[in-house]
Amino acid sequence: MTDAPETFSWLVRFGYGGRGVVYLLLGWLALGTRTRVDAGNQAVVDMLQKMPLGRIALGVLVAGLIGYVAFKLLCLICDVEHHGSDVKGLRRRLANLGGIMGYSIVAYSALRFALGLKHGVEESQTRATVHTALDWSVGKVAIGIVGIGFILAAGAQVRQAVTGHFMHRVSGRAPGWVEWIGRIGFSARAVVFAVVGWSLMRAAWWHHSRDAKGLGEALVSLRASGTLYTFVVIGLMLFGAFSLIVARYLIVPRVE
């Protein structure tokens, strides 16, 4: 796999870094009790805003996540990862839908905070987005497709965790232990993505819009499971660390 042009490559690396920050902070919030982790993306953004130079940090996060979403859109539409257009390839490309929606919501929330348009943690942005989309003529279909995208993404996370296939996009100069924290991280993401995907499908096809979950709500729904909750929280933090490391060693595919 050849490297991409330098400008695009740095944009994608920046995006992976932004993704890593989101997962690290979300896991940190889930381990504590002072902040409502069920607020998910908004809680992460609120936490960043309260830090020194918070507005600047939010601006950097927005830029990074926009880069990541743009990369995922190219993976979905232009197949820059070369999965192909057969059934298997289309399934892998559709798995990008979950990330596109999820990180777009995070970027939107962070941008509003950075511009001073939103203060404090309010209703789940995911539920609000789903509720608005369901009012559209094609809203149910769109939300249902995104839900399926999350389910497919959950399956893709399981595959990555089992095979370690994600390492083919990581330079051989990366430390050997990166693969193992990646495997744990992908396993944790599989659980969360499955919960989010099922909740979106219920919202779209069974009219349970208040059941729609983002990352934070999905974590909260696992609290009663005890050991599984602890594994998922630690796994998400490891995935955040993995994303930050991979931002340095990632082999970005060339866009023709």
Residue 35: per-residue pLDDT: 47
Residue 43: per-residue pLDDT: 60
Q: Tokens for 41, please give them.
A: 């993306």
Report the C-alpha gap between 63 and 47 in whole angstroms: 18
Give residue 242's Cα distance to chain centre.
13
Residue 119: per-residue pLDDT: 47
Residue 61: per-residue pLDDT: 79
The per-residue pLDDT string of the chain (256 residues; one tens digit each, 9 = 90 and over) reads 445 567 778 888 888 888 888 888 878 777 764 445 545 556 666 666 666 666 777 777 788 888 888 888 888 888 877 788 888 888 888 878 777 877 787 777 677 766 666 544 444 555 555 545 544 545 677 777 778 888 888 898 999 999 998 998 898 899 989 999 999 999 999 998 898 888 888 877 766 556 677 777 777 778 888 889 889 989 999 999 999 999 999 887 776 6
Residue 2 is classified by DSSP as P
Residue 94: per-residue pLDDT: 81
Residue 255: per-residue pLDDT: 65
Give the CA distances from residue 215 to residues 128, 135, 192, 196, 256, in Å, rounded to whole numbers and listed in that order.
Answer: 14, 23, 7, 7, 34
Residue 47: per-residue pLDDT: 64
Hey, what's the torsion of the CAs at 52, 56, 57, 61, to 10 degrees?
170
For the segment 157-179, what is each residue's pLDDT rounded down to a tens digit? 999 999 998 998 898 899 989 99
Q: Tokens for 74, please give them.
A: 């190219």
Give the CA distances from residue 169 to residues 128, 133, 166, in Å, rounded to whole numbers and listed in that order.
Answer: 35, 35, 6
How many helices and strands, by DSSP H and E, does the chain display? 10, 0
